[in-house]
Structure formats: structure tokens, C-alpha cells
Structure 1
Amino acid sequence: MSSKGCEFFQRRQPASLPLSAIFSAAMLASGAAMAQPVPDASAVTGSASLVDRATAGSVALPDPQSVSGSELHAASPQPEGPALTVAQESGPAKLVSTDRPAVQQGIPSTDQLGVSHIGDAAAEAAESTRHGPLSSVGQMLNNWGFTPTLNLVQMYLANPSVGQQTGNHEALTFIAVGGDFDMQKIAGFPGATIHFQQLFVPSTVNLGWGQQVGDVLANVGPYVPKVSHLALFTWEQKAFHDKLDFEFGKTNSGLYFAAPVCNQGFGCQSLILQHNAGMNPPIYVNWGGRVRYNLTPALSVQAGMWRSNPAFPFTNGWEWTDSVPDSNVYLANVVYRTTYQTDPWPKSYELMFYYNTSTQTDPFTLGTHKGTSGIYFGGRQVVYRADGGKAGVSDPTAVSLFATATGSFDSHSSTGLEMTGSAGVIVEAPLRSRPHDSISLSFNWATLTPHEQAFLQNQNIEAGGTGYTVGRTQYGVKLDANIALTRSILLSPYVMRTWNTNTWGNPSYAGTPKNGVTVGVLAIVFFDRMLGLTDH
């Protein structure tokens, strides 16, 4: 992975999420989808829906399957316990999505906060001594102009006491293969780089886990019915001493916008951005491009446009055109970010606006309107250092505060999400003998729109319930950590307790979901670094 990218897919910061130099860059970019080696879209635990919930109403599904919500439910194996059914309405079926993938970006160090090697105004971290049996091969490839990527992410998620069907778990395996081609070294094109990454999902267990939990905060279980995905294929061009940086091709907008500022990226990634804004989950790529200008090494402005495919779970990224009607996503942000290289008290602040052209369907009235928009803010600031702010220290014991807030300007959006947010504290290098570890405690919340709340109340009654009594805002307290087991292996466990757990992820539930605990752990192995293929 790249030395500066926060990405699992290594390379740029992702939403492409690899952990770049394991401690200099982040952790994984794939919060999104795991694929199971079954081409049949209906082969998913529970009644998983084919299209994101944002596409309420009648939706044309990708070939060769054009299935209605009820047909899909009938064809799907049902888990034990209360049935999880696809929500129905008078008229076209409203598909309830099991796919609530989230970006997984771990950011172990404030110095690498949200920093990707793409578009950086500051120089990349210095090369370190190569270690591994393929060090000589890695050096040869790098001299030629190719920096390979080879990483593995193992994810385990469980809901021992929270949600609609407790006591279940999900396990996913991601393998990212690819690399960056320095076109100046290879072909003499100054400032040009080709980025490529292919993601494989060789093993999945219980892709319906997200629907079994069925809420907004605890439900981070990916759903992906494809085992192989193009995760990145772009041409990046820098100019004017790297102040101007633009990129286009097949990519994911989350790699460049709304960089997570929490300790584990998937812990503060807003579903409003993935569903309202149409910033499809990390492993799903669309045609798009962006341009960024660094006004100073710390201050930059950026704008971009992507296509957004509502049937993203059933794409592999190599499609030339989309099989269902899609929309355009327009993004613009301003970012101020510093590192320990230039600032003893590093900080990162981002303000972003989004607009998506897709037609929105009010979940309660079924009224429609064109387009939806909203805002995102994320900030992180070092407020304490054990050394008092000594210059030249890149990994001090430090305390950072962070907060994010994402709001929709559309009270009648299809998803019914009004606002999400998080706030917390991160302790970096709590032990001086382990400078790359970190631990964090955060408070999280998500608020639904009034019409979404009314929709959930109606769905509960129609499913045979006695009344939906959960409030519009769900809360959660989360404890997580990043633990560097070796130079090439990172472990990221977490535990979250939720209150006011809702049924947003599976409205057709007759009971009241349980408040409780969800746990998970991600293990990231940087084989490229372990083998000596990369020196960052």
C-alpha cells in the first residue's frame, strides 16, 4: 500500500482503504462488500434485497435477475427465528437493503490522519529499510516504476445481545492485489500515475447478519454477492509542483472525500454519505473524476463528480455501462490538515457538500422529487502530548479529540436518514514501547426523519407487531483499538453498546429490537510489506 494512504486497498486514502505504511497509513479500505461465490442474487441469508434502500419503489435489477421483492423473499433461505421479510407496500415493493457496507479506514496515527499519497502537497514519508524474502524484487520493481499491493483483511462481527435476531455473527475475508505505476519512470509522463487494484472475497459467512441486527449504528455487516471486484483503475495527474492534482477513471468517491477522523474508520462512516449522497461503499467503483488544488501544504479545495449505481451489490466494477438507471453525485470540499512534520499539534478539518441527482421517494407518503443534498463535517485535533510538544517526534504519546456530523438537507429522502454523528477521544501510543498502538472511546448517534419514523411504525403494525415504540434517535458508546502485532500485522477490535436500537435496516420486523452489545475485530496483514515488496 501506499505509504500515506489510509487504505486497505492500498493506495490512496480511501475510501480505498488499506492501511498504508501500516502505521503511517491507515488500515483498510474495504468496509464494504464481501462476496459470496454464488452468482444467484437470492442466495443470501434472510431476504436480502438486490438494491440499496435508496431506490425505493420499482427497480430494474441487473441481468439476468429481474426479481420482485416478494419473489426474492420466496427464493431466499430463511434463518431460524422470526422471519425477516422484505417490506411491502400497496404498489411497487420497497426493497429493504441488507447491504449496509461501511468504509473501513483505520487511522492509527494523527500524523497520517486521512492523508493519502494522492494529491499530497507534502512529501511522502522517507523510505525505510526493506525486510522480507522478496526485498530485491520489490526494489527492482520500484526502480522500474511499479509499487505492488498485496494485503489481506479478515473481519469478524457479532451481535451477542443487540438487534432483531441476537447471537449471530458474520465473517469476511478480503484480499487486495494491485499497485501503482509511476508513468514518469515507465514512459516519461511527468506527474502521472496509474492506480489499479482488484479485490477478491474468497470466504464469507452469513451475509445476512446486517439484516439480523437491522439498525443504523451496530449494523456494519457487508453484503456482496460477487467474489471479485475491480476496486480501482485510474489515471492521476499532478502539475504545478503537485499543487494541482486531478484523477479520473473507475474509482470510489470515498477515497477522496469525507475522510474518517476516528480511530477506526468504519466507526464514524455515515450511511447518509453512502446512501443519500450515493457514495457507494468502498469496493464499488463507478466512472468519475475529481480535481484538487493545494492552496498551501495544509489547505486544499477539491471538487468531483461520479456516477452512482443503485444496484452496486451486483456489479463487479468492470461494467462499461450500468444495467439500471443511476445518478450523478457531485461533491465539493475544503480541507485543512497538518502532520507532526510541520505542526507539533496536528489537526484535520474537512467541510464537504454533496448533491445527488437521483429521484427520491418519501418512505411514508411515496411522493417523489428530484435530487437530494446534504453536508458533512469532520475534525480531529491533538490536544495533549506527554512530551509537551517536542519538535521532530513523529509518534508521540498524545491525546486527540474528534467529531463528525453528517446532515441531510432533504427531510423526504428515500433513506429516511436525517443526521448521523460521532465524537470521542483517541489516545495514541499509550505505551512508549508500542508507538503505533491507539485506543479510543466514542459516542455515536443517528437520527431518522419524521416520515421514516412513521414508515417504521406502519411497517411494525403491518408485520403483526403491537406498536413501534423506539425513538427517532439511536445512541451508541464504542470502545476500540488498533494494535500493531508486528510491522506487517494490525489488529483492530471494538465493542459497542447501543440504546434506542431501531429497525431501519429491516423495517418488516414485528417486535422491538433489543438494545445491547455488538463486537467485532479486523485483522489486517500487509503481505507486500512483510515480503519486502514495498518499503513504506
Structure 2
Amino acid sequence: MSKLTLEQKLFHDKLDVEAGRANLSRYFLIPNCNQILTCFKDIWSQDAGISTFVYATWSGRIAYHMSKSWYVQAAATEVNNTIFFQNGWNWNTNTASGAAGIGEIAYQRGFDQTAYPSTYEFLGYYNSSAKTTSERVTTSSGSSWKAAQHTGGMSGIFFSGQQYIWRKDHGTTRNPHSMALGIYGGAGTDFQSYAPIKAEAYLGAFVQAPFKSHPLDTYGIQLHWTKLGPLQTRFLADANKASGGDGRPPSAAHLVADIHARVSLLPNVALEPSVQYAINPNTYYAPMTAKHPHDIVEVGATLFIYLDKIMGFPP
């Protein structure tokens, strides 16, 4: 279960109120990349505490549309790191670590308004969850580990945007599936030194419908830079030392360059392949190791089968 909410629109649909089980990535920092494997935001997930798109938590949101393009919205959601090990039907909050509050101002124009759509979002967040970090201390009998809890929560800001800049038809139509070029990007920072991710930025470009016979295909490139927080960098060095390594700290910043695509194989079946080259990777997800990772090439793909459309469900 990824979404189950009650929604009410008021004042000629200018005001939108919604509450229930949902993921705030449906409404905030809307993915502006053209490929799911490369469209990640580490600050959003690791610092703000918003779970992966398909997982739902208790949430509430209110949005007000000042015009057809401009709107403001705010929301609150449960932060629960154990949601990844559940199936969507466990609705209690016993394992929640806190709550996150988000507010943003945004601008969006689609193909219904212009031949050159654009989306821009600027938001701030606060995650009340206490952040626990592991710190190494030296005792008379050697080294040991203790958990240090920072109760101040985490807060930060993030900006993202997407803009179509060129069309083969020079904007004479609003066809969303004609050949066009778009650019996108984003950047953010967390204000606390104990945050896992201190700063992040990405920039990319994509071309859609380069082949007339495949109007739904897109091809793109992207650079994604991430910087770890100072306590997280120190922890990875200490964990490496405790595991028998040399204790050398990893580079706080790492860069991922990639090329990717979305290719329609059959009606309602699509493949999203990507090739990524990671520079200065770290052991964030596997800290207890004596090894230091090297630059690496990663190849991946996601297969999409739209069962709802195949079975004729209404949109």
C-alpha cells in the first residue's frame, strides 16, 4: 500500500487539503530527471527522513495555488526507518523515530500552458528525529565504541528545477512527445554538522523523442555530487580502523557521472538502462570494512510493465 488518503479541494480548487498514508515525494521535490535509477536526492532521504517513493507513512499536506503556475504548500509526515522492512499494511507508529515538517514555494507550467514546460521548487525541512552516530573512544583496554545521540534534529534547504530549452518544431505546438531538449538540476544543504549528508548538487540534460518511431523514448546525461558531514566522515575512518584497516578517512565528496535512457520496448513496457561512473566512493552503506573502495563503473536497468494500462484500468 503506497497511498491511501482523503483529499478535499476548496475555493475553486485553489486550496488542496490531503491526509492519510502517502509519501511526500509525490508532492515535494518531484523527480525532475528522466530515469528512476539516477534520480535520487541523498539529503531528502538521509537527512529529511523521507522514505523511498513506494513506501507510505502517515502524512498531512495543505497546498494553496496563488495562480495557475505558482503555489505554496506545507506538510508533516512520520519518519520511520523501519518502513523498508514492512509491506505497507502495518500502520502503527510504534517504530517511528520522529516527524518531518516541510514547506515550499513552487512554480510549474506544463504542456497545457506552454511549449516549453518548467518546474521550480524551493523548500525547507525539519526532521525531529534524534540522530545517533557512533563514536570511537580509547580506554585503558583499547578502543571501544559508543553511541552519541544528537537531539536537535536536522534541518536544511533544497532547490530543484527543470526547463525545456529547445524543440525541433520551435515551439509551434505543445506536443509532449515531439523532439525536445531539457535541462534539470538541484542543490541543497543541511545546517547541522552531525547530518550524514552535508551538501549535494546535481545537473543533467535529456533529449526526448530523438527518433520519430519512438516518441516516448528519452536519453540523458547527469553529474551528481555529494558531500558527507564531518562526523560521518570521521565515523567511516574509525570504522575502517576498527575493522583492521589503516583508518584513512574517505574523501568527504564523491561524484557520479552517468548516461541513461528510457526506451519503449512494447506498448506499456519500458526499459530504463544506465551506466554510472562513481569517483571517490565511500563505505556509507557498509562502514565496517577494512577496505577502501575504488572508482567503479556500475551498470543497471529497471523494467517497467504497466499492468493497469494493459488490463484497461481507468487512469
Match of 2:145? none
SS at structure 1 position matched to 2:128: strand
Supply the AA of the counterpart residue of 1:486.
L
Match of 1:424? 204
Pick aligned residue for 1:374 from 156, 160, 171: 156
Q: Hey, which of these two has a bigger chunk of strand by percent?
A: 2
Match of 1:342? 113
SS at structure 2 position matched to 1:459: helix
Following superposition of structure 1 onto structure 2, how do residues 65-214 of structure 1 map, counting pairs within 5 Å?
none
| Equivalent-residue separation in structure 1 for 2:172 and 2:225 (angstroms) | 36
| Equivalent-residue separation in structure 1 for 2:301 and 2:181 (angstroms) | 23
* Cα displacement (A) at 1:484: 1.4
Match of 1:494? 274
CA contact (8 A) 1:260 1:378 kept: no
Match of 1:397? 179
Pick aligned residue for 1:438 from 218, 222, 226: 218
Higher relative contact order (CA 8 A, sep 6+): 1
CA contact (8 A) 2:236 2:249 kept: no
CA contact (8 A) 2:204 2:221 kept: yes
* Cα displacement (A) at 1:468: 2.3
Match of 2:140? none
CA contact (8 A) 1:463 1:510 kept: yes
Shift in CA distance, 384/364, structure 1 to aligned 2, threshold 3 Å: farther
Q: Deviations over 1:431-472 (max 9, x none)?
A: 122211100000111110122111111111110012325311
TM-score by length of 2: 0.91
* Cα displacement (A) at 1:325: 4.8
CA contact (8 A) 2:114 2:174 kept: no
CA contact (8 A) 1:417 1:448 kept: yes
Aligned length: 304
List alignment gaps of at least 5 residues for structure 1.
1-229
SS at structure 1 position matched to 2:287: coil
Match of 1:360? 131
Match of 2:191? 409
Q: Which moved more, 1:425-434 or 1:392-401?
A: 392-401
List alignment gaps of at least 5 residues for structure 2.
137-147
Match of 1:514? 294
Shift in CA distance, 339/273, structure 1 to aligned 2, threshold 3 Å: same
| Equivalent-residue separation in structure 1 for 2:88 and 2:175 (angstroms) | 41
Match of 1:449? 229
Match of 2:144? none
Match of 1:246? 17
CA contact (8 A) 2:237 2:250 kept: no
Match of 2:90? 319
SS at structure 1 position matched to 2:3: strand
Shift in CA distance, 364/408, structure 1 to aligned 2, threshold 3 Å: farther
Match of 1:285? 56
Match of 1:528? 308
Supply the AA of the counterpart residue of 2:14.
K
| Equivalent-residue separation in structure 2 for 1:260 and 1:476 (angstroms) | 18
Structure 1 residue 237 and structure 2 residue 8: aligned? yes
CA contact (8 A) 1:363 1:451 kept: no
* Cα displacement (A) at 1:362: 4.4
